[in-house]
A and B are shown apart, each in its own frame.
Chain A
């Protein structure tokens, strides 16, 4: 690990930054190892420049935020993020994190008037804040909202649904029997929606798993979460095939992620699927997709 940290730092110090090596480090065990390194690496991976943000203590900014159409929804979601904060956290620390979360979200959506807030974007922002702190989180959230998560921030759900559809061809190619079982039950793919729009942060209780997945997603193709979603379904094929073909039962089963998933194996499987079926191939298969990511 110490050796890996040294190599990561070397890649960071190269001019220009050695992104190719960093992408490789995201694939090997433990990714970027700790949050101190993540704070340096993550912004480089997606070219997120530190971003000047609004002074939330100024009356003008407060008014700007409060007049935003999504203000009430954001406040409500920030209020309800308690279960994702470290257990036993002090009340003052908790309030401070919630203030940061509110500010990061409002700053991003009020600076990008073409973007629409969705429930789950708060999970992304909170994961970023908890791992790399408010300043880096803001830069990252702003960049992700405009790129990787852009399709989820439309005024409607059409693109979100189209991206969900991309899971299907992977499952068809890898395990037709499994796909048929899913079809038979009519379960659709709504169970995976939070996986894609929050990069699994809404679903894994252990934040370390989310940080590790974010290492991977930030370093690779914006559609990578689709491959991870497919890998997740595929690795549970036995369980699915043995269960009753009931829409509700399967929806609940799939939506509840195994919290002890071996995350390194999941990452390897996702990467292998991505190499086997390229994002271009996938989008060609699902003709309706109008993907606007990077």
Chain B
């Protein structure tokens, strides 16, 4: 029997930063341009299988999606309390969205007692010129990486539309929680691109881990 562990993961970030789309893509493998704003909070769950040599673990991710509307900020503690991981999202093409990241980081550092790992997630890569989209990056990747490194956070980039980096992000969260290290794990500086768009699954790339 595999060991089964459950862990609470919370998504935070400015309104419209793509939190709900990220989860919908991860859980249901679909993308819609018309995702309704999240009122209050939403919950979903998914099991990740981890294999490391002889050792096997199952991690159940209990994922809380929160409202980005600032009015709901006072409710956020309900969802980040007891979380082992917080994924703070920002729209890569929106500076204001990035500016909100620091607000959440400070809130978590100040108020969360347990060890909560931080993941800073730049969303909507499909909109960026370098991926063929119409928009420019609002913040340089080195700035985000430096910021993440200072916090001992991990920085990843995703696109819910083109399904880029999303499974990897949650596998990373599960592996960190289970104390598994990705072999050939990229250092933070390189973790920017866990997976190139349209490439094969990370399972095959780092088969000894997952």
**Best-surrounded residue of A81, A191, A248 (most CB of chain B within 10 A):** A248
B186 at the interface (CB under 8 A from A): no
Among B38-46, B108-116, B126-134, the stretch that binds chain A is B38-46
Distance in angstroms from A149 CB to nearest chain B CB is 13
Are B39 and A83 in contact, with the CB atoms below 8 A?
Answer: no
A116 at the interface (CB under 8 A from B): yes
Among A72-80, A212-220, A276-284, the stretch that binds chain B is A72-80
CB-CB < 8 A to A157: which residues of B?
71-72, 74-75
B77 at the interface (CB under 8 A from A): no
Distance in angstroms from A164 CB to nearest chain B CB is 10
Contact with A along B66-102 (1 / 0, CB 8 A): 0101011011001000000000000000000000000
Closest to A153 in B: B71
Q: Give the residue of B34, B35, B36, B41 whose beta carbon is less than 8 angstroms from that of A190.
A: B41
How many chain B residues touch A (Cβ–Cβ < 8 Å)? 24
Within 8 A of A (CB), among B24-42: 32-37, 39-42
A118 at the interface (CB under 8 A from B): yes
Closest to B32 in A: A83
A172 at the interface (CB under 8 A from B): no
Q: Given A157-B71, A248-B64, are A120 and B16 also a contact pair (CB < 8 Å)?
A: no
Q: Give the residue of B39, B43, B74 whose beta carbon is less than 8 angstroms from that of A120.
A: B39
How many chain A residues touch B (Cβ–Cβ < 8 Å)? 28
B15 at the interface (CB under 8 A from A): yes
Q: Once the chains are docked, how many angstroms separate the CA of A247 from the CA of B34? A: 28
Are B33 and A116 in contact, with the CB atoms below 8 A?
Answer: no
B62 at the interface (CB under 8 A from A): yes
Within 8 A of B (CB), among A178-202: 188, 190-191, 193-194, 197-198, 202
Q: Given A118-B71, A156-B74, are A194 and B35 also a contact pair (CB < 8 Å)?
A: no
Q: Once the chains are docked, how many angstroms separate the CA of A77 from the CA of B62? A: 27
Distance in angstroms from B64 CB to nearest chain A CB is 7
CB-CB < 8 A to A83: which residues of B?
32, 34-36
Distance in angstroms from A108 CB to nearest chain B CB is 17
Contact with B along A231-251 (1 / 0, CB 8 A): 000000000000000011101
Within 8 A of B (CB), among A76-94: 76-77, 80-84
Q: Given A157-B74, A248-B43, A252-B42, are A77 and B37 also a contact pair (CB < 8 Å)?
A: yes
Distance in angstroms from A28 CB to nearest chain B CB is 31
Q: Given A118-B71, A119-B69, are A193 and B37 also a contact pair (CB < 8 Å)?
A: no
Q: A77-B37, A80-B36, A188-B78 are known contacts; what are 20 more A-B pairs with Cβ within 8 Å?
A: A73-B15, A73-B69, A76-B37, A80-B34, A81-B34, A82-B33, A82-B34, A119-B67, A120-B39, A156-B71, A190-B40, A190-B78, A193-B40, A194-B39, A202-B36, A202-B39, A248-B62, A249-B43, A249-B45, A255-B43
A residues near B, CB below 8 A? 73, 76-77, 80-84, 116, 118-120, 156-157, 188, 190-191, 193-194, 197-198, 202, 247-249, 251-252, 255
- Can you list 29 A-B contacts (CB < 8 A)? A73-B15, A76-B37, A80-B16, A80-B35, A80-B36, A81-B36, A83-B34, A83-B36, A116-B71, A118-B69, A118-B71, A119-B67, A119-B71, A156-B71, A157-B74, A157-B75, A188-B78, A190-B41, A191-B40, A193-B39, A193-B40, A194-B39, A194-B40, A247-B43, A248-B62, A249-B45, A251-B42, A251-B43, A255-B43
B residues near A, CB below 8 A? 15-16, 32-37, 39-45, 62, 64, 67, 69, 71-72, 74-75, 78
